Structure 1
Amino acid sequence: MLSTGTLRAHLLAARLAGSVATSREANLRSYRLFAAGDPRVLLGLEPRWPWSEGELLTLMAEKCGVSADPGHVTGPDVIDPERTLGALEAFAARLRSVARRRAPVLLGTGHPHRLLEFYASLAQALSAAGCEVLTPAQGCPVDITTRFGVRTHRLDYVRGVALMRDPGAQRSGCAPGVHSHSPLPVRTALAALAESELPLPELVVGDHGWVCAAGQLGLEAIGLADTDDPALFVGEAEGRVSVAVPVDDGVRSDYYRPLTRYVLGRAALWA
């Protein structure tokens, strides 16, 4: 099993934590938009109370380790690797719990180019442990508002992980999909389960709208989040998201493999 020290070193070397590529400008812009109630950064979460920009900065400093100095407005920002490691422990504990119960799970990502392999490995391990990995509403259309207007995508699954597929894609079940922050895919998937009277997932694993919208609907949800995604950390602070792991979500896909090994080891899900 990968040691904590080895993973900490990898987090810093791969810039998954420490000084990360997500800029201070991007972070502050997201906090400003969240405070204004912009749905593009709420990700399906409906905050229980108003959050000011200052309160969000304080929260993100606590949860992620970004600079708490409001005067720091440009340049790089940081993720404290100790906070990442602590959140990964909690993340693994939730996986271990659902695996022991052999409960149904739903996995989805808005970052298929980067994070598909991470979630697919979790899906495979959970399935091997006896969990049903749900794949509802495959092929269903989902209308998502983009900067180019409303575009119809379709919900697809690759190795048990839900993602959005461009309408022009010819093959189902192949990677990659499209980048998406929308809460609509998980709502579509959950609605299909409810209509068919199939069991709802006892755990939703993912990022972006997959986590926030599921948590908003009262389901246990855990996931990865970058420093410009405050919604997951607000959801965690308000009790709607069980675990939000602070990590850069835009590095090379192979850089997440040590995280996969660490999480599966801590969750006792290695075959």
Structure 2
Amino acid sequence: MLSTGALRAHLLAARLAGVVATSREESLRSYRLFAAGDPRVLIGIDPEWAWGERDVIGLMADKCGVSADPHHRSGHDVIDPELTVAALEVFAERLAVAARSRATVLLGTGHPHRLLGFYAALADALSAAGCAVLTPAQGRCVDITTRFGLRTHNLDYVRGVALVREPGAPRPGCATGAHTHSPLPVRTALAAAAEAGGPLPELVIGDHGWVCGAGQLGFEAIGLADTDDPALFVGEAEGRVSVVVPLDDAVRSDYYLPLTRYVLNRACLSQ
């Protein structure tokens, strides 16, 4: 079993927390755009409160450990590993509750190249515990606005985890997929589940628009977020997202394996 101290050391060594690759400039740009109501950064959350740039910086300082000084404008961002560990504990507790109640769950990621393995292990463990892992809207087209304009993607599932692919991508079921922040994939999946007469998820697990889009629609959602993803933390502050774990969401995929083991052990879901 990985101890809390060993987990903290791994977070720092892998730069999942501590000094991370995300730049201060990237994060501040996201905070400005969020305060301006830019949908590319809101990613499905419609804030109820007024969030100015300084408000967002203050929230991210509290939730992630980034600098609260708005005049600190360059260099790499910082995530407090104590906040990551604490959030992972709550994340694991929520997984344990879902497992005990055999809840219906939906998992999805906008970071398939990095985080698919993490979510797939959760899907496997929850399924083994008796949870129904939903896969609605398999193959459905989703039109997503990208920096290259409107692009059609296809919704697919790999080991119970939803992702989107661009047309012409490798065959369904393989582990490659597109990076996206859009809430449209989860909206498409939830709409398809409702149209089919259910069941609907009691818990949505993921990142980016999967968490924000589900939370905005009233579904309980938990997930992971980097320092340049303020929408998830705003959703948590406003009560529409249950748990957000602050960490770098774009390191090597194998660096998340110790987190997977830690979370599953804490949730009593280890195989």
Bin for the TM-score computed over the shorter chain:
over 0.9
> Equivalents in 2 of 1:71, 1:43: separation in Å?
26
> Equivalents in 1 of 2:114, 2:50: separation in Å?
32
Residue of structure 1 in register with 2:45 after alignment? 45
The CA deviation at 1:267 is 0.5
> Equivalents in 2 of 1:240, 1:252: separation in Å?
30
Paired residues of 2:153 and 2:165 also in contact (CA < 8 A): yes
Asked whether 1:255 is paired with 2:255, we answer yes
Residue of structure 2 in register with 1:15 after alignment? 15
Paired residues of 2:170 and 2:176 also in contact (CA < 8 A): no
Q: Given the two structures, how large is their TM-score scaled by the length of structure 1?
A: 0.99
Partner of 1:135: helix, strand, or coil? coil
The CA deviation at 1:49 is 1.6
Cα RMSD (Å) of the superposition?
0.6
> Equivalents in 1 of 2:51, 2:198: separation in Å?
37
Mean Cα deviation higher: 163-172 or 25-34: 163-172
> Equivalents in 2 of 1:119, 1:76: separation in Å?
27
Q: Given the two structures, how large is their TM-score scaled by the length of structure 2?
A: 0.99
The CA deviation at 1:176 is 1.1
> Equivalents in 1 of 2:103, 2:51: separation in Å?
35
Residue of structure 2 in register with 1:83 after alignment? 83
Residue of structure 2 in register with 1:203 after alignment? 203
2:154 maps to a residue whose letter is R
Per-residue CA distance 1:195-216 (angstroms, 9 max, x = gap): 0111110000000000001000
Gaps of 5+ in 2: none
Q: Percent identical across equivalent pairs?
A: 78
Residue of structure 1 in register with 2:129 after alignment? 129
1:124 maps to a residue whose letter is D
Asked whether 1:98 is paired with 2:81, we answer no
1:65 maps to a residue whose letter is G
Residue of structure 1 in register with 2:223 after alignment? 223
Residue of structure 2 in register with 1:56 after alignment? 56
Per-residue CA distance 1:159-188 (angstroms, 9 max, x = gap): 000000111124111111010000000000
Partner of 2:69: helix, strand, or coil? coil
Residue of structure 2 in register with 1:118 after alignment? 118
Mean Cα deviation higher: 197-206 or 164-173: 164-173
The CA deviation at 1:111 is 0.1
> Equivalents in 2 of 1:99, 1:165: separation in Å?
30
The CA deviation at 1:243 is 0.3
> Which consecutive aligned stretches of 4+ in structure 1 deviate over 6 angstroms post-superposition?
none
Partner of 2:260: helix, strand, or coil? helix
> Equivalents in 1 of 2:122, 2:3: separation in Å?
19
> Equivalents in 2 of 1:83, 1:66: separation in Å?
11
